[in-house]
Amino acid sequence: MRVEPPRAGVLGGQPRRPLTTVTPTTGAPATGAPTAPSPQRWEVVAGRRLHVALVSAAAAVAATSSGDAFLLAALLGLVAADVAAAGVAALVAASLTVRYGASSLGAVAGAQGVLGPALTVGDPYSIAASVAGALALAFVSPRGLPVLAFGLAAAAVVAGPDVSGPASLAIRIGGALVGLGLTAAATRYAPRRAARWVAAGLALTSVALATAGRFIG
Amino acid sequence: MSQRPIAAPPAIPWAWVALGGVVVAAWAGLAATGGADMSMAGITLTISAAGAAAATGAAALAGATSLRQGWGLAAVLAGVLVLPVCLALAASGDEARPLIVVLPLVVALGVVGGGRTRAARLRAVGIAGIGTALLGAAILAGPSPTLVARTTTFGATIVIAAVLLVIAGAGGSVGVPALKPLLAVGALAGIIGAAAVPGIGVPLLVGAAAVGIAGIRPAVAVALFAIAVASLPGGQPAASLLAAAAVLAVALDREWGVVAALPGAIAMVEVLMFPGEIAPRVLIGATAALLGVQVARDVFLRPARDQHGEEGSRLAVPIELASVPGIIPRRAERHRLPVMVLAAWLLVAPGSWTWAGDAGITHYDTGAGRAVAVAALVLVTLAGADHRFGLRRLRMPA
């Protein structure tokens, strides 16, 4: 009796795989002595689910500009599983705090909603600080799913007004799309090691410019 | 530090877990409702919200101690039932003499009740004994026996005593476990004392930085940092939240417990934004950054070594859950459940910890709540999707 192979793809596509559970990949060695102790199966599954959940949580906080900038920085660091990424995000949060006088993302969004996007309003130092902060987040993002959270966070820094009407909604959506595209491009084309150093430099520059904007500009 | 092996504690009966949980919940409830006036035998006692919170910390620390026999049991009972009452009274600005009577008793019972080594016991007796004696002297030398910093000398003495008690309490989990509640006493006394001595923040910051760099016990660094922040104008709420995080981290006996200091650190940022002298703020900010990096390096999740290896999935993501040792308490550690609940509460809704004062972080609650809700929703959805996939695969012929 001929039996159709299970879910081999109706049109010859890839076999369907679950979202996060562990399945052997095609072409991988079936058995063999592992070179290093591998985590337990449930830990792999739980780690994957946890990561997707963290990315979603960070993206939700960034997209809705709710909560605190340092909380978002901590979430981004967890998403990247990288202390350097957390440090860069924390510096960007510090830059926002210096510019707006508060670390509340709601306050940042409210100010952008009333005054205009951070990219277009303010003295040159402050504008440059926002741009540098957004670029720092884009460059420090790891590849893959985390691009979603980092891109939305970058967008919230430069063009994340409180949504109070069609215009602000359009700015918000446009900013999010640009932020996601920029972050995806940065993770794809920039060498990772160099990108991390660039991001650190941009984040420090952002803090310095925000401070200059507060006291000079 | 995160690789420190955790010794398997003895299983604790549910009755003890329930006792500790009920006491902690009662004090936490009192703190959440803003304190209360209690009348007993014609005497009216006023328990403030901050006093109830301090009592919650002491009870949580004692309840999370896995000593359940002999003198150790007596020390734990004193820590769960007696010490919180005395601490709450002292913290509420009432009579502090019961506290200086009970403290030596707790120290003595704890040291007799058990310690890792003889040297650890001797060290604990020395540090905790001097701290207790200094605190008692500072309280008794004043015009009224209360724990209120009136002068610089008084405040400095209290802060020194507090630092010693913090060291004795935070080190208790590895030396003499029954001394953990001293951390709550030390943190409270330090916050009260530091408010009267603005200049004491610098040595405390240096101490916190040294402890943080040494990477011995992050909770000690956070507690010292909290006392230093209390010396800033308007720093009391942030200091209280930071101290609460240190207490919960020690009660959890997990290094990653100090992540509960995040709300306190954010509240500290708000304090640093107040107009005022620049130098102490820069110093505090720099120390906070240093401690943050140290803590993050120790407690952060690590990326998986091989994302594209044998095990694949559509959303191959790079977190190795095994890098967080003991993230979930084992069955034998169920006595830590009340502390876990408190830590989660602090991390998600610190704005509701009104006993700490107006920390200016109510906006934090919105974002944290949203993040938790979204994460939980995604976890449930993923688990459901994978479960359905598994069922479908089972039904298909091989």
The predicted structure's pLDDT at residue B13: 72
The predicted structure's pLDDT at residue B394: 66
User: How much is the mean pLDDT over chain B?
Assistant: 81
Tell me the mean pLDDT in the region A33-43.
Answer: 54
Chain A residues near residue B300 by CB distance under 8 angstroms: 77-78, 81-83, 86
The predicted structure's pLDDT at residue B174: 61
In eight-state DSSP terms, residue B336 is G
A40 in B contact zone (CB under 8 Å): yes
* Residues of chain A numbered 58-77 and touching chain B (CB < 8 Å): 58, 60-61, 64, 66-68, 70-72, 74-75, 77
Tell me the mean pLDDT in the region B216-235.
Answer: 87
- Inter-chain contact A67–B262, Cβ cutoff 8 Å? no
The predicted structure's pLDDT at residue B118: 80
Q: Which two tokens stand for residue B16?
A: 């003890």
Could you give the angle at the alpha carbon of B178 between the alpha carbons of B172 and B184, nearest 5°?
A: 70
Tell me the mean pLDDT in the region B206-219.
Answer: 78
Q: How far is A215 from chain B (nearest CA, A)?
A: 13
| Highest mean pLDDT pick, A36-45, B65-74, B197-206 | B197-206
A9 in B contact zone (CB under 8 Å): no
Q: What is the pLDDT of residues B82-115, one digit of tens each?
A: 888 888 888 887 788 888 889 998 888 888 777 7
A59 pLDDT band, cuts 50/70/90, is: very high
The predicted structure's pLDDT at residue B295: 77
| Highest mean pLDDT pick, B139-143, B318-322, B329-333 | B139-143
Q: What is the pLDDT of residues B24-51, one digit of tens each?
A: 999 999 999 888 887 777 777 788 898 8
Dist. CA B362–CA A105, nearest whole Å: 12
For helices B236-252 and B337-348, angle between their N-to-C axes, nearest 10 degrees:
150
Of A55, A103, A144, the CB nearest to B266: A103
| Highest mean pLDDT pick, A38-52, B321-335, B374-388 | B374-388
**CA-based nearest residue to B85, from B61, B37, B43, B51:** B51
Q: Bridge partners of B44?
A: B39
Q: What is the pLDDT of residues B151-197, one digit of tens each?
A: 788 888 899 999 999 988 887 656 788 888 899 999 999 998 888 88
A72 vs B278 pLDDT, higher one? A72
Q: What is the pLDDT of residues B342-377, one digit of tens each?
A: 999 999 999 999 889 888 898 999 999 999 999 999
Of A36, A51, A60, the CB nearest to B305: A36
Q: Point out the least confidently predicted range of B122-136, B268-282, B342-356.
A: B268-282
The predicted structure's pLDDT at residue B316: 38
A86 in B contact zone (CB under 8 Å): yes
Neighbours of B75 (CB within 10 A): 30
Phi-psi region of B46 (alpha: psi -120 to 50; beta: other; left: phi over 0): beta
Dist. CA A120–CA A99, nearest whole Å: 14
Q: How far is A201 from chain B (nearest CA, A)?
A: 17
Q: How far is A140 from chain B (nearest CA, A)?
A: 15
A13 in B contact zone (CB under 8 Å): no
B344 in A contact zone (CB under 8 Å): no
Tell me the mean pLDDT in the region A146-174.
Answer: 92
B310 pLDDT band, cuts 50/70/90, is: very low
Chain B residues near residue A39 by CB distance under 8 angstroms: 304, 320-322
The predicted structure's pLDDT at residue B175: 72
Q: Bridge partners of B320?
A: B302
Tell me the mean pLDDT in the region B204-215.
Answer: 78
| Cβ-contact A158, A175 below 8 angstroms | yes
Work out how many CB contacts closer than 8 A connect A with B: 188
pTM of the model: 0.84
One-letter-per-residue 3-state SS of chain A: CCCCCCCCCCCCCCCCCCCCCCEECCCCCCCCCCCCCCCCHHHHHHHHHHHHHHHHHHHHHHHHCCCEHHHHHHHHHHHHCCHHHHHHHHHHHHHHHHHHCCCEHHHHHHHHHHHCCCCCCCCHHHHHHHHHHHHHHHHHCCCCCHHHHHHHHHHHHHHCCCCCCHHHHHHHHHHHHHHHHHHHHHHHHCCHHHHHHHHHHHHHHHHHHHHHHHHCC
- Inter-chain contact B364–A68, Cβ cutoff 8 Å? yes
The predicted structure's pLDDT at residue A124: 93
H helices present in B151-181, as ranges: 152-170
Q: Point out the least confidently predicted range of A163-167, B7-11, B71-75.
A: B7-11
A74-87 burial, b at 16+ Cβ within 10 Å, e below that, comes to: bbbbbbbbbbbbbb
The predicted structure's pLDDT at residue B318: 47
A95 pLDDT band, cuts 50/70/90, is: very high
B270 in A contact zone (CB under 8 Å): yes
The predicted structure's pLDDT at residue A9: 38
Q: What is the greatest pairwise CA distance in chain B?
A: 86
Measured between CA atoms, the residue of chain B closest to residue A31 is B310
pLDDT above 70 for A208: yes
A51 vs A76 pLDDT, higher one? A76
Q: Which two tokens stand for residue B267?
A: 């509240």
Dist. CA B230–CA B195, nearest whole Å: 6
The predicted structure's pLDDT at residue B330: 56
The predicted structure's pLDDT at residue B11: 64
Dist. CA B66–CA A82, nearest whole Å: 35
Residue with tokens 């003991």: B326
pLDDT above 50 for B315: no
Measured between CA atoms, the residue of chain B closest to residue A87 is B293
Of B293, B364, B379, the CB nearest to A71: B364
Chain B residues near residue A51 by CB distance under 8 angstroms: 317-319
Measured between CA atoms, the residue of chain B closest to residue A84 is B293
- Inter-chain contact B386–A20, Cβ cutoff 8 Å? yes
B96 in A contact zone (CB under 8 Å): no
**CA-based nearest residue to B40, from B76, B74, B78, B85:** B85
Measured between CA atoms, the residue of chain A closest to residue B375 is A53
User: How much is the mean pLDDT over chain A?
Assistant: 83
* Residues of chain A numbered 110-149 and touching chain B (CB < 8 Å): 142, 144-145
- Inter-chain contact B379–A72, Cβ cutoff 8 Å? no
Chain A residues near residue B377 by CB distance under 8 angstroms: 56
Tell me the mean pLDDT in the region B3-31.
Answer: 75
Tell me the mean pLDDT in the region B327-335.
Answer: 61
Q: What is the ipTM of this complex?
A: 0.82
Q: List phi, psi (to 5°) of B173.
A: -70, -20
- Inter-chain contact A21–B361, Cβ cutoff 8 Å? no
B393 vs B225 pLDDT, higher one? B225
- Inter-chain contact A43–B321, Cβ cutoff 8 Å? yes
Dist. CA B267–CA B346, nearest whole Å: 13
Q: Bridge partners of A196?
A: none
A7 in B contact zone (CB under 8 Å): yes
The predicted structure's pLDDT at residue B15: 77
